[in-house]
Structure 1
């Protein structure tokens, strides 16, 4: 089955063909470690994790590199405000970032290069651009890339350069979307940098943000690699600048497939501190939600569509995952003999639908629909009493297989709540009343169980108890 991905560069679905058969080299834009990552950041990291898992699911060996931006305008600004050395300041947020990745069950990258550990590579790349005539030192002692020397600048973001002012320079790492201008590769030291500086052939200073990713991607993945990802906000200027400096330095195409995810919204609005809808993962954990519940919500929309985050969605995720846990417990308890053929068609249909959906540009909605198809079918077979132990084990194996991509099930950890003897006794009394056709007493006992926090469900041959929230 061919895997098709939407290449942002060409704005179309394309069949994925890696440079090296069976292997994918992928660069994903990581955090700028000046604060805790927020759920908007994790929407992008979750999309990249889904991509990584799908590639592995289709049999590829994935070499993923995710950078850590530990020197830029913001890290310097905030470290100085807290009177901390840059490394000491960023270490706290790097540690927190890795803890958050673990909480969300995000697949580790092969390498997490930090910008401050690769200054030498950046200096050499900048020197190559100067030697080839693509970069120059201005009167402010900074080194700038000349976009006029790269005619295809703006192709990724569809920037129309007609009538743009030539020779305008921008020193800041981030700038307005319409500010097409020469951008800083190396920033000459000034008082705002404090003690953050490195020696270079052009004087003391530090790298610009954009050159960092190019240098680290080239070191670990080579001059041309398969996939580069990030949020749609990274497309311009960051990714556009990466392409320009990398292709000019190396004389070859930088990346074959560009993938970008859309923004995360909160209750239909853009997330911001001023709007009071800004959340880190830690904020959600403090409210009692789990990492897998957050993961479920962050995977809830196709990566190229805006994801609307709500607390109602988190509550729904909790209920949905509880139902899957209950199903896994029921499947593990099946002891009926048989060869499992009774669920062969159900398994084949769900597996095929899941794979087909993922192959269509990571269509997570259709993939999840296939999972629910299997859930409904499994419950139906359990309720009928016709499911064999072999069939139940095959169903559990298929859910484990799905979880290689989804990452939010706990198939082998799901356990039934311990039922107190008094609750079990009430349920038995209700069953006896129902068999005696004393429905009024049966209903009263159901309500008594509900008041005690338990839901009783009728199943063939008996009942099932579930703990309520």
Structure 2
């Protein structure tokens, strides 16, 4: 059984879905005013990997991840560029899909936008006002945080500490409108020239927190299985989501809360963020690095742990991925001389590594132990491939298992290209030179191919080639 560390209870719990065989999960998406950086991408990859493991285990997953396409940052950036907020949003929503596709991120079942759900947001806020959980003040609408029982249940801090923190995040103008500094905005009155929608409180736009409450419950129901996002969203965003959602529905909101760790940079492991200016966009990263290596780098660290972004750590991921690709290529190469039949003892050993993989992943998606099992599987495969005879059915089954387990990490190994006539002719010439003891010509051919990025490997089964990787 899968166990999940629930931020709400701060302990691992057996995952029991509301509906047998079905997982309903909501993951907070980006505010689309710029390209996402790799800190944002970490959350995308972490929860895509979690989703993939649920699917590997046979669950049907309904995965909803939103776009915040109206807020202060978007309004300011659109004004700066002299375009509309929707134009800005469309540009970076398209960029999000273009940048995450090379990382093999599965499309969400739904990607709702805040601006597509304004009427639902207005109705939701109006209900909170009617119930006394919210109040209007000079065109804004605020939520009465103290009115909600156990408001601090997710953050596990005292209300006084949260109040002190809240006073640092708002200006005096906002505080003047509030009954209490801890209260938060559900609806914001529009300033002249800003994008706005009509509401019972005048022209305005939604607050950030209310968007996710409306879209998650609209598409997944009043109560759903998993709500995910970065650790920085625990407070205030997810704390406020619980308060406003449960006040509105009278039901438990999300049953399991999952939060991924940050991407850190530098010797002091500083969190990567746009506000600190220490970020690298995924758009830039995809242009200078192999996106599959970036995916592998992120997907093979357990989601709750921080990822330290360094060139050395990224290079380690590249090297490990290249070794797995070589194993895959070796499997393909030995297909040509494999015998009919099956080696059940080898497949039984491979099954043990699959069990080890599942045991690790069932333990709160421990991908580090999971990928260790995959490495052991690759080691087993490489030893078997060095045998003088191998069984075709076993090779097919080993290849399928290796591919299946790596697909949980979002990694798709590619079938090696067939050598073109020119390369094969040089390989054949080298073999002939070696047979004739013309070792100088043999070495010259090896050096010529190496200069072209082709590495030759002499094996008991013959000479094969592969493209050089940037180690």
SS at match of 2:225: strand
Q: Please say if 1:200 is aligned against 2:181.
A: no
Residue deviations 1:383-422 (CA, integer Å, cap 9, x gap): 11232111111111112221331221224x4335546256
CA distance in structure 2 between the aligned counterparts of 1:252 and 1:379, rounded to whole angstroms: 54
CA distance in 2 between partners of 1:453 and 1:35 (Å) = 37
- CA RMSD of superposed structures (Å): 2.7
Describe the superposition over 1:206-231 as per-residue Cα deviations: whole angstroms up to 9, x where unpaired. Answer: 11000010011111011111100000
Which secondary structure state, in structure 2, belongs to the residue aligned with residue 190 of structure 1?
A: coil
How many residues align structurally? 454
Deviation at 1:270, TM superposition (A): 3.1
Match of 2:147 in 1: 149
Distance 1:47 1:215, change over 3 A: same
- Secondary structure in 1 matching 2:386: helix
For 2:282, the equivalent position in structure 1 comes to 281
1:248, 1:398 → 2: CA distance? 47
- Contact 1:293 1:317 (C-alpha < 8 Å) held by counterparts: yes
Q: Which has the higher helix share?
A: 2
Map 1:114-193 → 2, pairs under 5 A: 114-138=113-137, 140-162=138-160, 181-191=182-192
1:442, CA displacement in angstroms?
Answer: 7.8
CA drift of 1:367 comes to: 0.9
* Partners of 1:417 and 1:466 within 8 A in 2: no
- Deviation of the 1:308 alpha carbon: 1.1
Q: Identify if the C-alpha distance between structure 1 residues 199 and 379 changes in structure 2 by more than 3 Å, giving closer, same or farther.
A: same
Deviations 1:305-341 (A, max 9, x none): 1101223333343333333333323322323223222
| Matching of residues 250-261 of structure 1 within 5 Å | 250-261=249-260
Residue 409 (1) aligns with residue 412 (2): yes
CA contact (8 A) 2:35 2:95 kept: yes
Question: Aligned-pair distance for 1:448?
Answer: 6.9
The corresponding residue for 2:340 is 338
Is 1:28 paired with 2:15? no
* Cα distance between partner residues in 2 of 1:392 and 1:109: 34
Show CA shifts across 1:59-100 (max 9, x none).
111111101100111111111111111111111001111112
1:230-252 Cα deviation digits (max 9, x unpaired): 00001110000000000111111
Question: Does structure 2 conserve the Cα–Cα contact (< 8 Å) formed by 1:161 and 1:180?
Answer: no
Going from structure 1 to structure 2, the CA distance change for 1:274 and 1:23 (only over 3 Å counts) comes to closer
Measured in 1, the distance between the counterparts of 2:403 and 2:23 equals 24
Alpha-carbon offset, residue 454 of structure 1: 4.2
Say if 1:399 and 1:85 are closer, same or farther in 2 by CA, change over 3 A.
Answer: same
- For residues 137-156 of structure 1, give each alpha carbon's deviation from its aligned partner in whole angstroms, at most 9, with x where no partner exists: 12x33111001101311110
Cα–Cα, structure 1 residues 83 and 456, in superposed 2: closer, same or farther, change >3 Å? closer
- Gaps spanning 5+ residues in structure 1: where? none
The equivalent residue for 1:102 is 101
CA–CA distance in structure 2, aligned partners of residues 51 and 165 of structure 1: 34
| TM value normalised by structure 2 | 0.89
Q: Secondary structure at the match of 1:35?
A: coil
- What is the match of residue 211 of structure 1? 210
Contact 1:297/1:309, CA 8 A, preserved across alignment: no
